Structures are given as structure tokens and as C-alpha cells.
């Protein structure tokens, strides 16, 4: 991992970590890309909640029901790493 990314994360999270948080919600779709860095910066005492995982779990529940009913359409748009997404 990039030491600059880790330093930026430390600076951004410093005020939160001073408050001794126990959970950090990764609310942006791009935060999972630096999840390892965030885990190192926050330490073992902070649980990371990955919103991308939660959204994927919900979609995996809802989408099959929608397909069976014939309602809706699937349209997938990504801005980066398209081969990984596929």
C-alpha cells in the first residue's frame, strides 16, 4: 500500500480516533479500495462497516425476486476497474 495514502487517512481520521470510536462506516463507494489502509490506521479496536458489501447483499436478495416478476431492468455502470467488476 501507498504510504502517502496511509498518511492522508491518518490526518483525516485523527479527530475521530482521538474520540476513541469503535465503528467506522465506509459510506463512499471508493473507500473499500483503501479498506486495508483504513483498518491499519484505525486499529483492531475499530470495526469497519463496508457500505458496498451491505448494498451488494441487499441487491442479491431483491434482484432475483424482481427478475421472477419481470419488473425492471438491469443496467450496470462503473467508473473504474470494469474488468474486475465483470
pLDDT tens, 36-81? 999 999 999 999 998 888 888 888 888 888 777 877 776 777 777 7
Closest to 29 in 3D by CA, of 52, 49, 5: 52
How many whole angstroms separate alpha carbon 8 and alpha carbon 41? 10
Evaluate whether 37 touches 24 at the Cβ level (below 8 Å).
no
> Which of 15 and 28 is assigned the larger pLDDT?
15
Tell me the pLDDT band of 1, cut-offs 50, 70 and 90: low
Phi and psi of 22, rounded to 5°?
-115, -10
Is the pLDDT reported for residue 27 higher than 90? no
Question: What is the pLDDT, as a whole number, of residue 86?
Answer: 61
Give this prediction's pTM. 0.65
Amino acid at each position: 500500500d501507498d504510504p502517502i495514502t496511509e498518511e492522508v487517512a491518518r490526518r483525516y481520521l485523527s479527530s475521530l480516533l482521538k474520540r476513541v470510536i469503535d465503528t467506522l462506516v465506509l459510506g463512499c463507494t471508493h473507500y473499500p479500495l483503501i479498506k486495508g489502509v483504513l483498518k491499519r490506521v484505525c486499529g483492531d479496536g475499530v470495526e469497519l462497516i463496508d457500505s458496498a458489501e451491505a448494498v451488494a447483499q441487499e441487491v442479491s436478495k431483491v434482484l432475483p425476486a424482481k427478475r421472477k416478476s419481470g419488473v425492471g431492468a438491469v443496467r450496470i455502470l462503473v467508473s473504474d476497474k470494469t474488468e474486475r467488476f465483470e
